[in-house]
Structure 1
Amino acid sequence: MMGFAGHLSAVTVSLTGQIEKGIFDPASEESTTGMPTLYGRFQVHFNDLEAGEYRLALSFPADALNQPFRIWLNGHLYGQSADLETRLTRDDIAECSVDVLSGDGKIDVKFLPNASDSKVEIVALALYGKGGELVYQLDVEDEQWSFDNARIWPASVYDSPDSGQIAMVAQLLTEAPVGLGTPISDRESWNAWGELSAVSRLVERAARLRQEPTPVLNDDLYLDYFRTGKREPYEGPMGERMYRLTHFVIAECVENQGRYLPSIHREITAIINEKVWVSPAHDKELKIFNGESVEVDLAASGRAWNLATALWLLENRISADLRMRVIEVMRKKVLDPYLRCIEDGRLYPGMSWMRIDFNWNPVCTSGVVGAALAVLESREERAPFVAQAMDSVPFYLDGYTDDGYTSEGLNYWNYGYGHFVLLAEAVRLASKGQINFFELEKARVAAEFPLKFEIINERYPVFSDVAFGDRPKPWLLEFIHERMGIGPESWSRDEPYTLASAISFGGTLYSVAAVLNLERGAKAVESKEAFKNVAGFPDAGIFIFRSSPNDSMPSIGIAVKAGHNDENHNHNDVGSYSLVVGDALLVSDPGMRIYDKSSWKDRYGSKILNSYGHPVPVVGKGDLQGTGRHFEGVVESSLIEDELSIVTIDLTMAYPCPDLDELERTVSIDEVSGSIEIEDAVSFDKPSRFETGITSFYPVEFLGDNRVVIRSDLYELIGTIDTGGAPFSIVKEEIVDNLPGRKIPIRLGVRFDDLVKNGYVKITFKASLVNTF
């Protein structure tokens, strides 16, 4: 690794990657004159910085802006350079800049082209401090870019488990493979489970499903995504095949009569004959479809684990020839690409999830590792998979703040942490309890997420890609309760209830098998009451205030977020809130839209995902919040007491409006009166437009006397609007988009009639029961 002396002597810089020096000349590819450039796949590492905010400036050849590449800053993706703040400084050179926060005195910048055979080209790079002072500058012409005698290696290199680590893990594993659930030969267990109502219903569904043909998957359906951008035509039948296999296997294990074996063989054969196991949405250049690359995604890893679980549960009921074919295909599509990364110490295309901090890590890792543990005969062959999981798990858990918040939201806590729990269970069983991810401190903190995230009455904030009304999966809460001793007794429900939720967990056989096999009877050490007065996740800028019910009013609670606009599954929602009355989420942001091609390519063209559809202000000339890490909310102050809780968030930096001087949102709850107050105070450099929004899935009505009312069947919420006498209008809009359940949120805009230089909008919410007499 190379070291360079920076402009500040305390700062050291190193460069790694596949790097070449060259000359850029827009007039001729073969010209030897022009601007010196650096190109390839590489990383620049800044070390020994003071912790704080910096700005990274990059210069590219102008035509590079049309080439697809990615920039990663400390793990945050900034897409193509055109996604940064870009300006052309000359006809041939473009300059881009982006803010980056260094909490540990380090900044890592990774330049990766999307295509494996292309390169990223830069002319210059500079790092500036918060005040604009130059911290470090590298010019390609500088001799510091000399690579003589330097050790250069690919940017995708990582420290994979070595042979010594793998050998140690092998000694901890069982001699024979172990999967989730109990094999069919254990008749005592399966006879007992067959008596459960949820299992009986599953068997009844299996009987109906076996009369239907296997869902069709073909090239045309796969390519339909690239024509229409819709994921459902291919992903729907993909999921149905897994759902059917789960039902057939469980039904056969219960009956043990061979009645479902033909259906199982037919379904498995169809799955292993699929051309690809990945979702078309994850094969953007069709390299996997065309056989040019083998990559592992969420779907492929899940298919491997489902098939491996079927082999484990059914034992010799699956023919030897079919079993051999399943393992052969599984190796080619999933296990071998994973092993290749470990053996080469390289994160090859499509495998970067092995070291990321969001749901892809535990979902893909669990699928690959769970499959290997269930079918590979030699423990020496299984050991590399477990050793790599031990490396990958901490990266996922690092995605949680120290107080346990994940910016992915509740839906992806269910999905990501749910798969982490299943991975932990699989590894625990395969190592006879000697490798136990459940005991990791950060795993326990992450397990408490729903306890702290609940507003009141099992209602949760609709932050990030979450569907309105989403809740924690009962099977997952029970697993946490039994394995980790976390959560109230209510988390340990009756088996039919949790089993039904496991069946709905993507129809995965491994989750159903794990829940059936879960030993029950653990003593919980915590209760909901212990978290009643926990005000959310201050480390992440998430505050949750709750008021208890009394004889005259229902319970009321609110969650509000600061955060920033480069979070995992990000929405531009700094300052957003969710307000619950009783068990009705009467004010909330609209949550997720159904994924399609535009979900990532033109993400913030959607009013559901940009700030317009959230209960936050619109400023200036209709300016919405910006996208990126530096568009953030700053918690100015917070006070949490028995009778009054209040937080003030500075939203100024969330908006790219040049005339905005200051914008603060203050949220408070009065325990005595049961009222919640939202106040937005704004000041501009010159008179400008201002409005704030209220969003709801419930009927919203403006009463004409400075009051709005939002009603559910049982509750109503009155919001009294105070603008200090400034005239305002109410602008009501239905936001039609592709939301789960075809839901349509309503946005009520409180808009000043005149331009303002200084002003405020204060909305005081009071709740009551609907008079049904």
Structure 2
Amino acid sequence: MSLLHRWHALSPTVRAAAVRSARERAGIPDSRQRAAWQTRNQHVVIAILAEAAADREQPWPHTLLSDFARYWRDGVRTAYEGPAGGLRRRTTTAVLAAAVSGEQEYVDAAADGLMLLCEQTTWCWAAHESFAAARDEVVADPAEPYLDLGAAETVEILAWADLVLGPVLDERVPGLRRRMRAEARTRVLRPFLDDRRWHWLGLDGHLHNWNPWIHGHVLAAALFLETDEQLQSEVVDLVVDGLDRYLAALPDDGGCDEGYAYWWNGPARLAAALELLDRVTDGEFAPWTCTPLAELARYPQRMALGDGWYVNVGDGPARPSTEQPWHDLHRWGRRIADAGVMAQAAAYRNQPLSAENGLGRAVVGLFDDTWWSAEPGPLPLPASSWLPDVELLVARGNGLTLAVKGGHNAENHNHNDIGSAIVAVDATPVLIDLGQPTYTAISFSERRYEQWVVRSEWHNVPVVDGHEQSPGPQWRATGLAVRQDAADSLAVDLSRAYPSGEVRRVATLDRDAREVRIVDEWGDGTRLAEHFVIAGEPAVHEAGALVIETLGGATARLAWDPALGPGELERREVDDDLLEDVWGPVVHRLILDAGPDRQRFELTVTRLEESVRD
């Protein structure tokens, strides 16, 4: 049964009670119930108060028109999105500090932040403000609000702040809650109801993380801020419809073509919204058996390499922040009774509760006593994971990990990477996917593939007859064959990924031989130049071999036919802060020209037991 069918299978009485009693049923006491807040995890409370105290020593972040306009002037997004995010983060921290402490100075700080949010001309980020762009302007019009991620993230703070601080705000700053409700209705709820053209609704069949991300925040705004029960019910019904559309579009294998980093803002946002709906119906909604929710919960453990590293495809860092809302995943694991999912989350139980992840996530996490009693343990790393719908194999063994993908070049957050392989030694990637650069005006424009990190020539795939891969759904992998045994492998035909040539790749993790093999074979008359992107420091480079000291301190050896010579080893400075945070100041690319007379190439990657520098 789909989410939508489950929702409408509930009696009208149950659905009406869910809206009418949402504040009580959410399971979060308001801050006047001091005993409930004073018994929260004290390590977390101390960290919240310390962060709030440090904030009070600094001026409030300001959002400026000149920074907003930079998106159109020079393509820079971060000049505005940074301070806007800083204001949301600081307000979130102040709300949490007010709730856990009950002190008026933090109530005042929370009220200041909430009012500053209400007074912003727009909650939309410049990169999404198509209404202003259509007018050839760089100034948003408050009379025509655009409902994007920025608006959703902002109304989420107002909604959860109203839930936990509402009566206190009425006592301390009468009128603020009325202003918050008015702004939420004007900027979010009415646009959501009155205009169904928003691209993120997925009415055209194109679904991505915006759908659950925005729907979940709209849901909280309707339940906690809105006072008109008819309007609330209309919004909640449409939210369930939208979430149902997103879930139906996800692959049955639980894969996420947007990658692990966006999983937290896609499937994980979906699960958080479903958790809230389940709570306000007193568990009668019970969506957790809907396909593919159980498989989606297992995605993070399938993508984990260890030591904070993850398989990253598309726009995503290989070493994302570990300060994720792991309690969300732990609850999800409890709902589906999956010990492995709970163990994956519990391995990170000692991570701080970050305000960066949103006020709702922080509040729900604070009151999850089962989570705080969970015992951290090792990551449950599956030996082999094959996701047939997104065409991704991840295999581990003897200190090596191989991830290899098929897919096509019109995936969400796409990089041109059909057939690309990632190889990690002792959890640390050595053959790498560079991942997400800092977003600018060209990131999601027709100029996207001018960025070097998204082009196939900067992925671990060949250049065929002088051509790299191109974007578009017509460029895809075919003829996939997977084997999962002592030597896990994925065979993939790459011929339809290029405008000419017949190329087939087989990537194998051979546990007995303790090596990864990447073998390409091609037809007569086709010529290949093999490209491999490398992180770490080259230690030895000679004909047929390259030895790398990895970023994790291990030593990896890449080997090929010495008759091909040493190849060309390029050194490239990393000119992007996000990328440098992961890979350091430089990466390398090995290019090996297979020559005109060959029809086969083989690269092996092994782990050397001792460093060549010892």
Give secondary structure in 1 for the equivalent of 2:403.
strand
Shift of 1:329: 0.8
1:395 aligns with 2:239: no
- SS at the partner of 2:461? coil
- Contact 1:249-1:260 at 8 Å conserved across structures: yes
2:270 corresponds to which residue? 420
Q: CA deviation at 1:430?
A: 1.8
Residues 537 and 632 of structure 1: is their aligned pair in 2 closer, same or farther, counting only changes over 3 Å? same
* Change in CA separation of 1:199 and 1:169 when aligned onto 2, cut-off 3 Å: same
Quote the residue 1:240 is aligned against: 86
Query: What is the CA-CA distance between 1:217 and the residue it aligns to?
Result: 1.3
1:351–1:638 Cα change, 3 Å = closer
Asked if 1:329 is matched to 2:160, the reply is: no
**Counterparts of residues 215-614 of structure 1 (less than 5 Å):** 215-286=61-132, 289-291=140-142, 293-319=144-170, 320-341=174-195, 347-349=196-198, 352-353=201-202, 356-455=206-305, 459-470=309-320, 473=324, 474-488=326-340, 490-491=343-344, 493=346, 497-498=350-351, 500-505=352-357, 508-520=358-370, 532-547=382-397, 549=398, 555-601=399-445, 602-614=447-459
1:769 correspondence with 2:605: no
Q: Is the 8 A contact 2:437 2:579 kept in 1?
A: no
1:648 maps to amino acid? A
Matched, 1:705 2:553: no
Q: Are 1:485 and 1:523, in contact at CA under 8 Å, matched by a contact in 2?
A: no
**1:653-672 to 2 correspondence within 5 Å?**
653-656=496-499, 658=500, 660=501, 662-672=502-512
Answer yes or no: is the 8 Å Cα contact 2:409–2:415 preserved in 1. yes
Show the 5 A alignment for 1:95-110.
Answer: none
Find the counterpart in structure 2 of residue 79 from structure 1.
none
Query: Which residue in 1 is equivalent to 2:592?
Result: 751
Contact 1:649–1:665 (CA under 8 A) maintained in structure 2? yes
Task: Return the alpha-carbon distance in structure 1 between the equivalents of residues 148 and 368 of structure 2.
Answer: 28
Q: Which has the higher strand share?
A: 1
Q: In 2, are the aligned partners of 1:172 and 1:432 still within 8 Å (CA)?
A: no
Are residue 186 (structure 1) and residue 33 (structure 2) matched?
yes
Q: Alpha carbons of 1:536 and 1:163: their partners in 2 closer, same or farther (altered >3 Å)?
A: closer
Q: Who is 1:647 aligned against?
A: 490
Counterpart-to-counterpart distance in 1, 2:5 and 2:57: 48
TM-score by length of 1: 0.71
Distance 2:44 2:438 in 1: 29
- Whether 1:631 aligns to 2:475 is yes
Q: State the secondary structure of the residue aligned to 1:171.
A: helix
CA offsets 1:289-315 (integer angstroms, 9 cap, x no match): 135633211110111111111111012
Q: Is the 8 A contact 1:587 1:694 kept in 2?
A: yes
Counterpart residue identity of residue 185, structure 1: R
The one-letter amino acid of 2:33's match is D
The answer to whether the Cα contact below 8 Å between 1:173 and 1:379 also exists between their aligned partners in 2 is no
- CA change 1:763–1:447 in 2 (3 A) is same
Equivalent position SS for 1:267:
helix
Question: CA contact under 8 A between 2:544 and 2:564: conserved in structure 1?
Answer: no
Change (3 A) 1:535 1:495: closer
Tell me if the contact between 2:417 and 2:456 (Cα under 8 Å) persists in the aligned partners: yes
Displacement of 1:214 in angstroms is 1.8
Q: 1:610 to 1:180 in 2, by over 3 A?
A: farther
Whether 1:619 aligns to 2:464 is yes
Work out whether residues 676 and 764 of structure 1, in 8 Å CA contact, stay in contact via their aligned partners in 2: yes
Displacement of 1:393 in angstroms is 1.6
Cα distance in 1 between the residues matched to 2:284 and 2:338? 21
Distance 1:222 1:530 in 2: 44
Task: Provide, for residues 711-763 of structure 1, a one-character-per-residue CA deviation record: whole Å limited to 9, x for no partner.
Answer: 1253111111127x455732423164425153455243333274x15422211
Q: Within 5 Å, which residues of 2 pair with 1:74-223? A: 167=12, 170-173=15-18, 175-178=20-23, 181-193=28-40, 196-223=42-69
Q: Aligned partner of 2:490: which letter?
A: V
Structure 1 pair 758/496, CA: closer, same or farther in 2 (3 Å)? closer
Task: Check 1:738–1:295 CA distance in 2 against 1; reply closer, same or farther (3 A cut).
Answer: same
Q: What is the identity, as a one-letter code, of the residue corresponding to 1:302?
A: E
SS of residue in 2 equivalent to 1:334: helix
Aligned pairs, how many?
A: 589
What letter matches 1:348 in structure 2? R
Of 446-455 and 244-253, the range deviating more from structure 2: 446-455
Distance 1:185 1:231, change over 3 A: same
C-alpha distance 645-495 of structure 1, shift in aligned 2 (>3 A):
closer
Instruction: Describe the superposition over 1:641-687 as per-residue Cα deviations: whole angstroms up to 9, x where unpaired.
Output: 2x22222111111112x4x2x1111111221121111112223546x
Partner of 1:22: none
Separation in structure 2 between the aligned mates of residue 217 and residue 458 of structure 1, nearest angstrom: 33
Q: Following TM superposition, by how much is the alpha carbon of 1:353 offset from its aligned partner in structure 2, in angstroms?
A: 4.9
Q: CA deviation at 1:349?
A: 4.5
From the superposition, tell whether residues 200 and 269 of structure 1 become closer, same or farther in structure 2 (CA, over 3 Å). Answer: same
SS in 2 for 1:540: coil
Report the Cα distance in structure 1 between the residues aligned to 2:525 and 2:245, rounded to whole angstroms.
44
Residues of 2 paired with 1:216 and 1:684: CA distance?
62
In the TM superposition, residue 459 of structure 1 has moved relative to its aligned partner by: 3.5
Structure 1 Cα separation of the partners of residues 421 and 566 of structure 2: 22
Q: Distance in 1 between matches of 2:533 and 2:252?
A: 31
Q: Which has the higher contact order (CA 8 A, sep 6+)?
A: 2
Cα offset, 1:416, TM superposition: 1.6
208-217 or 275-284: which moved more? Answer: 208-217
RMSD of aligned alpha carbons: 3.0
In structure 2, give the amino acid aligned to 1:371: A
Aligned twin of 1:14: none
With structure 2 as the length reference, what TM-score do the two structures score? 0.88
CA distance change for structure 1 residues 672 and 681 in 2, over 3 Å: closer, same or farther?
same
Matches of 2:403 and 2:561 in 1, distance apart?
A: 22
Q: Which structure's residues are more often helix, by fraction?
A: 2
SS for the counterpart of 1:630 is strand
Q: Distance in 2 between matches of 1:405 and 1:385?
A: 29
Give the Å deviation of 1:239. Answer: 0.8
CA distance in structure 1 between the partners assigned to 2:568 and 2:373 by the alignment:
53
Unaligned runs of 5+ in 1: 1-158, 342-346, 550-554
Contact 2:543 2:565 in 1 (8 A): no
Q: Whole-Å Cα distance in 2 between the matches of residues 185 and 439 of structure 1? A: 37
- Asked which structure has the greater CA Rg, the reply is 1
Give the Cα–Cα distance (whole angstroms) in 2 for the partners of residues 501 and 632 of structure 1: 41
1:219 corresponds to which letter in structure 2? L
- 8 A Cα contact 1:438 1:483, kept in partner: yes
CA gap 1:586/1:161 in 2 versus in 1, 3 angstroms? closer
Q: Kindly tell me: are residues 389 and 654 of structure 1, through their superposed partners in 2, closer, same or farther at Cα, counting changes over 3 Å?
A: same
SS in 2 for 1:598: coil
Q: Deviations over 1:551-602 (max 9, x none)?
A: xxxx111010011100011000001111111121222111111111011221
Q: Does 1:760 align with 2:600?
A: yes
**Alpha-carbon distance, 1:216 to partner:** 1.1
